C-alpha cells in the first residue's frame, strides 16, 4: 500500500463512507450483529477504524486484528487504547493467522475483510486462511475491490496493487465454495467495481 492509499484510508471521508454506508450494508447482508460473546478476526486492520466498527456495530466481544505495516498497527493501538482488553493487534500476514495469534482451526465466529484481500498477491491463500480459522456456521464478511476497478486509470496512477492474478467479482465468488464458504443471501455490487457480502462456513 503506497503513501497515497495510506492517506486515503486515514481520511475522514473514507471513515464516514465506511461508517454510514459500508457497515450498515454489511450488517444487513450478514443478518445483523454477531452473537453475544463472539470472537472475530480482521484481515488488514490499517489504523484500527474498522476494528472499532467490528466492536461497536457488529458487537464482537473480542477482535484479533493483523496488518503487515507496523505504522498502521501503531496507529490502531492508539485508536483502540480504551479497548485493549478486547483487542489483540499484531504485525503479520493475513494468510497466516497461526503465526500472528496462534489461531487454531475454527478459532473465530467471524472474519472481516474490509477491502484488503485485493492487496494480497496470493489472494486465494487469504480466503483459505479466513475459512480455516472460522468455526462451522461462522461468518466471513467481505467488502472487495475487483479487477474492473483496478484497471481504471485513476487506480493505476494513484495506487499500488498486485498486477498479476487480479480477481473479478465472479472469480472471487467462485473461490468461496472451494473453501467451504457459502454466500449468505444477497450481495451488493457497485458498478462492477466493488463487491460486498457475507458467507457462512459450511463444514
Contact 127, 117 (CB under 8 A): yes
| Predicted confidence (pLDDT) per residue in 72-84, tens digit | 999 999 999 999 9
Contact 129, 94 (CB under 8 A): yes
**Residues 11-25: what's their mean pLDDT?**
88
| DSSP-H helix ranges across 3-136 | 3-9, 12-17, 23-30, 49-56, 70-79, 97-101, 123-133
> Could you tell me the residue ranges of all domains in the chain?
3-201
| Predicted confidence (pLDDT) per residue in 84-95, tens digit | 999 999 999 999
Mean pLDDT of the chain: 91
DSSP string, 161-203: ---SS---HHHHHHHGGGGTEEE-S--EEETTTEEEEEEEE--
Distance CA 8, CA 202 (A): 36
When the candidates are 1.10.600.10, 3.30.70.2740, 3.40.50.150, 3.40.50.300, the CATH number that belongs to 3-201 is 3.40.50.150
Number of residues that this document lists for the chain: 203
pTM for the full predicted model: 0.92
| Predicted confidence (pLDDT) per residue in 102-156, tens digit | 999 999 999 999 999 999 999 999 999 999 999 999 999 999 999 888 876 655 5
Compute φ and ψ for 144, nearest 5 degrees: -130, 155
Q: What residues pair up with 62 in beta bridges, in sequence order?
A: 39
Please say if the pLDDT value at position 2 is more than 70. Answer: no
**Residues 150-173: what's their mean pLDDT?**
73
Amino acid at each position: 500500500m503506497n503513501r497515497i492509499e495510506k492517506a486515503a484510508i486515514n481520511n475522514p471521508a473514507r471513515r464516514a463512507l465506511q461508517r454510514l454506508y459500508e457497515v450498515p450494508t454489511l450488517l444487513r447482508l450478514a443478518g445483523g450483529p454477531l452473537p453475544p460473546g463472539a470472537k472475530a478476526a480482521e484481515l488488514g486492520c490499517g489504523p484500527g477504524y474498522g476494528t472499532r466498527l467490528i466492536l461497536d456495530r457488529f458487537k464482537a466481544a473480542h477482535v484479533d486484528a493483523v496488518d503487515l505495516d507496523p505504522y498502521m498497527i501503531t496507529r490502531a493501538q492508539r485508536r483502540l487504547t480504551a479497548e485493549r482488553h478486547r483487542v489483540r493487534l499484531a504485525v503479520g500476514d493475513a494468510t497466516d493467522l497461526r503465526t500472528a495469534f496462534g489461531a487454531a482451526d475454527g478459532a473465530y465466529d467471524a472474519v472481516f475483510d474490509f477491502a484488503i484481500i485485493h492487496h494480497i498477491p496470493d489472494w486465494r491463500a487469504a480466503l483459505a486462511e479466513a475459512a480455516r480459522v472460522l468455526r462451522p456456521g461462522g461468518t466471513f464478511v467481505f467488502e472487495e475491490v475487483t479487477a474492473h476497478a483496478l484497471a481504471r486509470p485513476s487506480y493505476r496512477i494513484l495506487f499500488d496493487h498486485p498486477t498479476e492474478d487480479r480477481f473479478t467479482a465472479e472469480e472471487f465468488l467462485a473461490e468461496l465454495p472451494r473453501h467451504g464458504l457459502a454466500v449468505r443471501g444477497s450481495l451488493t455490487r457497485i458498478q462492477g467495481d466493488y463487491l460486498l457480502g457475507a458467507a457462512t462456513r459450511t463444514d
